[in-house]
Structure 1
Amino acid sequence: MSALTVSDLNVWFGVGAERAYAVRDVSFDVAKGESFGLVGESGSGKSTILRAIAGLVPTWSGTMVVDGEPLGRRRSKAFYSKVQMVFQDPYASLHPRQTVDRVLSEVMHLHGVKDINTRIARLLDDVGLGSGFRFRYPHQLSGGQRQRVAIARALASGPSILLLDEPTSALDVSVQAEILNLLVDLRSEHDLTYIMVSHDLGVVGHLCERIAVMQQGAFEEVLSVADMRRLEAKSPYTRHLLESSIKSIR
């Protein structure tokens, strides 16, 4: 069964003669428990797709269905219990004047989560921080620790789908590996479905089973990570992209 179905998605910005399409006629399915990657050069439309799914871009057409719920211009409270997003920059995504406890408890209050104290302690353990970080402020945390808090915040409502927008690109290389391994573990432990955006094919290959290669707002090709590693691509653009990243994907 599909966790997410996207059909004929178009996303644009501007009106009238100023309208510019960021995504054109994109369709894909993501099965429950799958990790699906969107890759391509900067400006290819990858992050715009995630933002359209999350309800952060109002100008779109097509069909999007999450766990059997067709999506309209506004998202329901049930949608935000099921779908959460982890953003690229852990320095910008956390409120500088809120403790980790406040960040997590506000999300839980909003979604009616019971036994918040126990839930916060469990979440911090799940993301590898522990209760000692509960009352720290973002400026007291490293980049990797901030991203762990951001992941904990995304998990606070008990979602089944995480939208991951370049979740490691702002981090040091050594920390990137830690966060990727954490995401692998969390997916298994919490039975999560991932839709992940990255420009790094090595990162996508570590976390995903299938990838969609994008160029100028459209899908060039969808292929398995196994085919990606074997450089078995039909599109010349995809082959060029894979060959230029050959060291990172093998």
Structure 2
Amino acid sequence: MLNVSDLDVWFGDPPDRVDAVRGAAFSVAQGESFGLVGESGSGKSTILRAIAGLIDSWSGQIEVDGRQIEGARRDRGFYKTVQMVFQDPYASLHPRHSVDAVLSEALRLQGMGDIDRRITRLLEDVGLGKGFRFRYPHQLSGGQRQRVAIARALAAEPRLLLLDEPTSALDVSVQAEILNLLKELREEHGLTYVMVSHDLAVVGHICDRLAVMQQGEIVEIMSVDALRRGAGEQDYTRHLIAASQ
């Protein structure tokens, strides 16, 4: 579903250029859940944003579902395949748009018809009833807002979801609910995930494999089983695991 190779991402121009990601390479199989972990500033969210087309200053190869991605994403077909869920559900929803408006807009942008039925189904998919349809973000809890954000991403019927710290802004009890929802949605819809997180427990709960990032480079790719055993090959990986326990 996703192949990334020789990926460099940078910000600014010389002499002030900052190389945020250098030589990243990994593959994600269809239906797999893949994690990107590392300390803040390691480049993991930058990779996600480059894949999503939110950053133009990159070089290398990004291939989604067998198609090479180049430059800006102007092809509607790309967003029918790939959608992103952001970290902060408070910031990612327009405060003056109701849930109905948010989901209606997403469906219309993708050229979808039968809007009423699709909105009802999306709300059911993410564990919200019809009673939430005409509420505004300020009337929702953090977890409910993130469920709406996930529903918005699902409106395009994508096959690949990019998850940028989707639970880090939520209370611990709500985090577990959202992670369980994501697991259920992956199974029901055959989705592929790439999840960024600084929390190894979150990655261990939802991912099959993960890449460990340090200062813009992938230093190790490992299975979640190896993560649970603390069997990192690199000193940095073992340090991360030890710090999370």
User: Does the pair score TM above 0.5?
Assistant: yes
Q: Residues 154-189 of structure 1, C-alpha deviation per residue, up to 9 Å, x if partnerless?
A: 000100000000000000000000000000000001
Q: Does 1:65 align with 2:63?
A: yes
Tell me the amino acid that sits aligned with residue 132 of structure 1: G
Residue-by-residue CA offset, 1:114-161 (whole Å, 9 max, x unaligned): 211101000100100110000000000000000000000000010000
The TM-score, its normalising length taken from structure 1, stands at 0.97
Q: Deviations over 1:2-51 (max 9, x none)?
A: x0000100000010211110000000000000000000000000100000
> How many residues in Structure 1 have an aligned counterpart in Structure 2?
244
* Structure 2 residue ranges without an equivalent (≥5): none
Amino acid at match of 2:27: D
Q: 2:106 matched to 1:107?
A: yes
Displacement after TM superposition at 1:74 (Å): 1.6
The 5-angstrom pairing of residues 1-250 of structure 1 reads 3-75=1-73, 76-246=75-245
The whole-number CA distance in structure 2 between the counterparts of 1:244 and 1:91 is 29
The alpha carbon displacement at 1:82 in A equals 0.6
Tell me how far 1:244 sits from its aligned partner. 1.6
Q: Where does structure 1 differ by over 3 angstroms across 4 or more consecutive aligned residues?
A: none
State the shift of 1:195 in Å. 0.2
How far did 1:107 drift? Answer: 0.9
**Counterpart residue type for residue 40 of structure 1:** G
What is the CA-CA distance between 1:230 and the residue it aligns to? 0.7
Moved more, 31-40 or 71-80: 71-80
What secondary structure is seen at the aligned counterpart in 1 of 2:122? helix
- Which whole-Å CA distance do the structure 2 matches of 1:243 and 1:161 have between them? 31
